[in-house]
Amino acid sequence: MAEDSCNGNLNHEAAKKAAHASGFGEERLAELRGLLGKADGDALRIVGVGAGAWGSVFIAMLQDAYGALRDSVQMRIWRRGGKEVDKPTAEHLFEVINAREDVLRRLICKCAYLKYVEARLGDRTLYADEILRDGFCLNMIDTPLCPLKVVTNLQEAVWDADIVVNALPSTEIRPVFQQIGRYWRERRTMPVIISLAKGVEAVLQPVPHIITPTQMIVDTTGVAAENVLYLGGPNIAAEVYNREYANARICGSEKWRKALAHFLRQPHFVVWDNSDLTTHEVMGGLKNVYAIGAGMVGALTNESATSKAVYFAHCTSEMIYITHLLAEQPERLAGPLLADTYVTLLKGRNAWYGEKLAKGELKIEMGDSISGKGMIQGVSAVEAFHELLRQPSLSVMHPELNKPVAPVELCPILRALYKILIQRNSPPGAILQALRDENMYDPRHRIEMDKVYIPQLLCGEKEIPLKKVPNPGAKILDPISGG
């Protein structure tokens, strides 16, 4: 009976066993192992780097699906050690544990329950890596996961990895993957990397250009670009782990993406593959920018559906316009791309952050790393996109004024967010002015300006002559005044 209590009553354990019994995943795993050249007896090693909500859920989902095949695949996750769990969080964690019989039984059977009792009483300090081993992500306490193998030594975690899942905030990718690149110098073959990160860097020298997370990884590790892919979609981490139906796309080289899409797909989590990495990765960063504004608009208008719809129309037109600056033939903002934008504006942490700012419950001076939520990626992305698009050298022809202007002049919401979040010289209410300017034109006109591709924006170190072909017949929204 004790064994049944420890193992048989756990929802995810039961699902995993049932899947294994029916042969679920074995064919997919064999396909991926063959593509990676894994010999019999040599387990496929999958490593998560970064243990925020989505990164932890992603590895936990793989653990649930394939963990029973431990001779063929092994999974672990890296996070920095030493992060303390404060007493209020420990108290709440104790409540979560006691509210879930399956979790309570599991911890008692592992003789791990007592430490949570002591932490609740203030007699013991818990650490983020410690609770992750028991299946609790610090940024998502209310959603218990399966237990994970957690490694706090980065070199130990990644040195022999076959597949690395990057779940770091974009602001942390460069320093962490520089270290990883040093560990991989002696490797004969490089791993495949799946990046979940959403964010960008703006670089102004030698020419203004943008660097996406996959490019940061290529630059710092020397891994071939074809081995680095991006996965994104309309996913709220806790809901996906609770088996709400979701979908995503894995984007990158055909060599890997189809087999990885097949491997990652689950009945409740459908993964498609796509070659257009640029559009999906840039949109992944842009949606966080405009989600902050969505949270502000909702709070400032008492969740007015009309106001939020107006905002949605304008912000998506800016996103499309910016994407057309960066990619010559970008995929249209439709399907999973539009759904990813929608769900982030609706319920993501960036929208939550904008809402709290507008209500005065958070202050910008508190920074963009929030306890219980993690990094608010949209803040750094606002600065990066604004700094890039304000450069005079990237100017496009303003069809109304018939003179060159910096691209940011055609993005009034982005400019308003920059004033609020980065310059800090405007209140959150200024976002409404970006919507209510009586001189604004139909956002459709901005979308029609789709021939404004500027090759140097993603060219890296190579200086390429500007190729600007604005649509002379298109009208444009009049930008809000100011710098």
Residue 7 has pLDDT above 50, yes or no: no
* CA torsion through residues 294, 298, 55, 382, sign: positive
Q: What is the mean pLDDT of residues 20-28?
A: 67
Q: What single string gives the DSSP state of each residue in 245-311?
A: -EEEEEES-HHHHHHHHHHH-BTTEEEEEES-HHHHHHHHHHHHHHHHHHHHHHHHTTS-HHHHHHH
pTM > 0.85: yes
Lowest mean pLDDT among 5-14, 43-52, 379-388, 422-431: 5-14
Using a 10 angstrom Cβ sphere, with 0-12 exposed, 13-18 middle and 19 or more buried, the burial of residue 338 is middle
Dihedral in degrees, nearest 10, Cα atoms 160, 164, 168, 173: 70
Q: What is the mean pLDDT of residues 111-117?
A: 96
For residue 3, what pLDDT is reported?
44
203-251 per-position pLDDT tens digit: 998 889 989 999 999 999 999 999 999 999 888 999 999 999 999 999 9
Structure tokens at 354: 């904008």
Residue with the bigger pLDDT between 334 and 179: it is: 179
For residue 442, what pLDDT is reported?
73
Q: What single string gives the DSSP state of each residue in 149-176?
A: -EE--HHHHHTT-SEEEE-S-HHHHHHH
For residue 15, what pLDDT is reported?
47
C-alpha to C-alpha distance for 267 and 281, rounded to whole angstroms: 25
Return the top range by mean pLDDT from 249-263, 321-335, 445-459. Answer: 249-263
Q: 3-class DSSP state for residue 27?
A: helix
End-to-end alpha-carbon separation of the chain, Å? Answer: 70
333-345 per-position pLDDT tens digit: 666 778 888 888 9
For residue 447, what pLDDT is reported?
67
C-alpha to C-alpha distance for 322 and 290, rounded to whole angstroms: 12
Q: Which residue has the tokens 């992750």?
A: 132
467 has catalytic annotation: no
For residue 396, what pLDDT is reported?
85
For residue 14, what pLDDT is reported?
47
Question: In the chain, pLDDT over 90 holds for what percent of residues?
Answer: 66
419-477 per-position pLDDT tens digit: 999 999 999 999 999 888 766 667 777 767 656 788 888 754 444 343 443 433 333 33
Distances (CA, A) of 475 to 397, 442, 447: 11, 9, 10
Total count of residues recorded for the chain: 483
C-alpha to C-alpha distance for 76 and 153, rounded to whole angstroms: 12
CA atoms within 13 A on the CB side of 222: 12
Residue 328: pLDDT band by 50, 70, 90 thresholds? confident
Residue 46: pLDDT band by 50, 70, 90 thresholds? very high
For residue 450, what pLDDT is reported?
52
For residue 399, what pLDDT is reported?
67
Q: Which residue has the tokens 């059977």?
A: 109
Residue 365 has pLDDT above 60, yes or no: yes
156-173 per-position pLDDT tens digit: 999 999 999 999 999 999
C-alpha to C-alpha distance for 367 and 371, rounded to whole angstroms: 11
Q: What is the mean pLDDT of residues 106-120?
A: 96
Closest residue by Cα to residue 210 from 274, 286, 293? 286
For residue 461, what pLDDT is reported?
41
Residue 8: pLDDT band by 50, 70, 90 thresholds? very low
Residue 91 has pLDDT above 60, yes or no: yes
Residue 278 has pLDDT above 80, yes or no: yes
For residue 370, what pLDDT is reported?
86
For residue 186, what pLDDT is reported?
87
C-alpha to C-alpha distance for 71 and 369, rounded to whole angstroms: 39
C-alpha to C-alpha distance for 65 and 58, rounded to whole angstroms: 11
Closest residue by Cα to residue 390 from 477, 479, 311, 317? 479
52-70 per-position pLDDT tens digit: 999 999 999 999 999 999 9
For residue 465, what pLDDT is reported?
40
C-alpha to C-alpha distance for 404 and 393, rounded to whole angstroms: 10
Residue 10 has pLDDT above 50, yes or no: no
Q: What single string gives the DSSP state of each residue in 192-259?
A: EEEE-----EEE-SSS-EEE-HHHHHHHHH---GGGEEEEE-S--HHHHHTT--EEEEEES-HHHHHH
Q: What is the mean pLDDT of residues 349-371?
A: 93
Q: Identify the active-site residue in 198, 287, 373, 419.
A: 287
Residue 24 has pLDDT above 90, yes or no: no
